[in-house]
Amino acid sequence: MYHFALAGNLLTAVGGTPSLAHADFLPVYPADELPGGIPPVGIRPLVKDQLAVARRPWWR
């Protein structure tokens, strides 16, 4: 949440006020998209093939 604190501090520095505690800020689930227009990620059961992908080093 470091990025969230930085954004709040920057907003305050330029004269703004963070406003998070209102009903319009809370998302409604199930959501058709994530914040920023990102499509939702499908959740699937864990299988051995997928576990092998998760364990593979990111640099290979």
Q: Using alpha carbons, select from 50, 26, 27 the residue that is nearest to residue 42.
A: 50
31: phi then psi, degrees, rounded to nearest 5: -95, 145
pLDDT tier for residue 45 given thresholds of 50, 70 and 90? confident
**Rounded to an integer, what distance in angstroms lies between the CA atom of residue 17 and that of residue 8?**
8
Quote the pTM value: 0.40
pLDDT tier for residue 36 given thresholds of 50, 70 and 90? confident
Contact 18, 8 (CB under 8 A): yes
**Rounded to an integer, what distance in angstroms lies between the CA atom of residue 8 and that of residue 21?**
14
Both tokens of 21, joined, read 């505690």
